[in-house]
Amino acid sequence: MPTERSRIATLAAAVAIALCVANVSAAPDLGEPVSAADLVGLSITIGPDGNGLPPGRGTAIDGVDLYVDRCASCHGVRGQGRTGPALAGGAGTLAGKAPVRTVGSYWPHATTLFDYIRRAMPYDNPMSLTNEQVYQLTAYVLWLNGIVGRDESIDARTLPGVKMPNRAGFVNAWDARDRD
Amino acid sequence: MRGTRYGPGVLTRFANVSDPIPVAGGGLLSRRALLKGAMVMGAGAALPATAANEHLGAAMAWQKTPGRPPTGYGNPSRFESAVTRTTYNRYGAIALGNGGSFTPLERLRGTITPNGLHFERHHQGVPDIDPAKHRLVVHGLVRRPLRFSIDALGRYPMTSTTAFIECAGNSFPNTNDKPPQVTCGEIHGLVSCSEWTGVPLAMLLEEAGVRTDAKWIVAEGADAVSMHRSIPIEKARDDALVALYQNGERLRPEQGYPVRLLLPGWEGNMSVKWLHRLELVTAPVQARDETSHYTDALPDGRALQFTFEMGVKSVITQPSPGWMLQGPGYYDISGLAWSGAGHVARVDVSADGGRTWAQAELLETAQPFAFTRFRLPWRWDGGPVRLMSRAMDEREQIQPTRAEWLQRYGAKQRYHYHAIQTWQVDDMGEVSNAY
Residue B34 pLDDT grade (very low, low, confident, very high; cuts 50, 70, 90): very low
**Record: contact B342-A3, CB cut-off 8 A:** yes
Residue range B120-294 forms a domain whose CATH class is: alpha beta
**Rounded CA Rg of chain B:** 24
**Which stretches of A76-149 are DSSP H helices?**
111-120, 131-144
Q: What is the pLDDT of residues A20-72, one digit of tens each?
A: 554 555 689 999 999 999 999 999 999 999 999 999 999 999 999 999 999 99
Distance CA B177, CA B371 (A): 28
Residues of A with Cβ-Cβ distance to B207 under 8 angstroms? 15, 19, 27-29, 31
What pLDDT is attached to residue B323?
Answer: 93
Burial class (CB in 10 A: 0-12, 13-18, 19+), B67: exposed
Q: How many CB atoms neighbour CB A36 within 10 A?
A: 9
Pairwise CA distance, residues B107 & B116, whole Å: 13
State the pLDDT at residue B269. 98
Which 8-state DSSP code applies to residue A79? S
The C-alpha angle B206, B263, B208, rounded to 5 degrees, equals 15
Nearest chain B residue to A113 by CA distance is: B288
pLDDT at B9 over 60: yes
Cα(B22)–Cα(B34) distance, integer angstroms: 13
Q: B288: distance to nearest CA of chain A, Å?
A: 6
pLDDT tens per residue across span A123-173: 999 999 999 999 999 999 999 999 999 999 999 999 999 999 999 999 999
B146: nearest CB among A32, A42, A123: A32
The pLDDT, as a whole number, for residue B4 is: 73
How far, in Å, are A116, B15, B134, B376 from residue B30 at the CA level? Answer: 55, 9, 54, 7
3-state DSSP of A80-96: CCCCCCCCCCCCCCCCC
Q: Which residues of B touch A109 (CB under 8 A)?
A: 286, 291
Q: How many CB atoms lie within 10 A of CB B65?
A: 8
Phi then psi for B361, rounded to 5 degrees?
-85, 135
The amino acid sitting at A180 is D
Q: What is the pLDDT of residue B365?
A: 81
B266 Cα to chain A: minimum distance (Å) = 12
Give the pLDDT of residue B53: 56
Please name every residue paired with B424 in a beta bridge, in sequence order, or none if there are none.
B386, B432
Chain B residue with CA closest to A91: the answer is B301
Tens of pLDDT, residue by residue over B393-402, are 999 999 999 9
- Residue A147 CA to its chain's centroid (Å): 18
CB distance B101 to B120 below 8 Å = yes
The closest alpha carbon to A150, from A24, A37, A64, belongs to: A64
Question: Is a pLDDT exceeding 70 seen at residue A175?
Answer: yes
pLDDT confidence bin for B313, thresholds 50/70/90: very high
Write down the pLDDT at residue A87: 98
- Write out pLDDT tens, residues B90-120: 999 999 999 999 999 999 999 999 999 999 9
pLDDT tens digits along B421-430: 999 999 999 9
Please give the pLDDT value at position B176: 97
Per-residue model confidence (pLDDT) at position A13: 63
Degrees to nearest 5, angle at CA B97 with B96 and B100: 100
Choose the closest CB to A83 out of B91, B281, B305.
B91
Residues B406-417: tens digit of each pLDDT: 999 999 999 999
* Fold of the domain built from segment(s) B313-434: Immunoglobulin-like (2.60.40)
* Reported confidence tier of residue B44, pLDDT bands at 50, 70, 90: very low
Q: What is the pLDDT of residue A114?
A: 98
Model confidence at B40: pLDDT above 90 = no
pLDDT of residue B14: 73
Q: How far apart are CA B18 and CA B43, in angstroms?
A: 12
Contact B369, B309 (CB under 8 A): no
What is the pLDDT averaged over residues B144-167? Answer: 98
Contact A53, A44 (CB under 8 A): no
Contacts of B301 in chain A (CB under 8 A): 94-96, 99, 169
Gap from A123 CA to chain B (nearest CA, Å): 7
For residue A123, the chain B residues in CB contact (below 8 A) are 94-95, 124
- Considering only CB atoms, A119 lies closest to which of B138, B225, B241, namely B225
B279: helix, coil or strand? Answer: strand
Distance CA B265, CA B311 (A): 9
Residue of B206, B255, B267 whose CA lies nearest to B231: B267
Q: Which residue of B has its CA nearest to A125?
A: B224
Nearest chain B residue (CA) to A71: B94
Percent of chain B with pLDDT over 90: 87
Among candidate residues B388, B320, B400, the one with its CA nearest the CA of residue B354: B388
Beta carbons of A120 and B94 less than 8 Å apart: no
Å between A171 CA and nearest CA of chain B: 5
Q: What is the mean pLDDT of chain B?
A: 93
Measured between CB atoms, which of A27, A29, A45 is closest to B218? A45
**Cα–Cα distance, B143 to A52 (Å, whole number):** 19
Rounded to a whole number, what is the distance in Å from the CA of A153 to chain B's nearest CA? 22
Q: Determine the average pLDDT of the residues in B380-392.
A: 97
**CB B279 to CB A174 under 8 A?**
no
Q: How many CA atoms lie within 13 A of B272 on its CB side?
A: 24
ipTM: 0.90
- Calpha distance B199→A31 (Å, rounded): 13
Domains annotated for chain A, with CATH where assigned, are 62-168 (1.10.760.10)
Residue B238 to residue A19: CA distance in whole angstroms? 18
Q: Which residues of A touch B203 (CB under 8 A)?
A: 11-12, 15-16, 28
pLDDT for B2 equals 55
Residue B168 above 70 pLDDT?
A: yes
| CA–CA gap between residue A21 and residue B175 (Å, rounded) | 54
Residue ranges per structural domain of chain B: 120-294, 313-434
Confidence band, pLDDT 50/70/90 cuts, at residue B366: confident
B71 has pLDDT over 60: yes
* Nearest of B194, B113, B196 to residue B159 by alpha carbon: B196
Instruction: Report how far residue A169's alpha carbon sits from residue A52's, in angstroms, rounded to the nearest whole number.
Output: 25
3-state helix/strand/coil string of A11-49: HHHHHHHHHHCCCHHHCCCCCEECCHHHHCCCCCCCCCC
pLDDT by residue (tens digit) across B239-284?
999 999 999 999 999 999 999 999 999 999 999 999 999 999 999 9
pLDDT at B191 over 90: yes
Task: Please name the member of B207, B296, B368 whose beta carbon is closest to the beta carbon of A3.
Answer: B368
Q: Are A142 and A109 in contact (CB under 8 A)?
A: no
3-class SS of residue A154: strand
> The whole model's pTM is what?
0.92
Range name among A9-13, B364-368, B399-403 with the lowest pLDDT average: A9-13
Q: Do the strands B135-140 and B191-200 form a parallel or antiparallel pair, or are they unpaired?
A: unpaired
Residue of A nearest to B369 (CA): A4
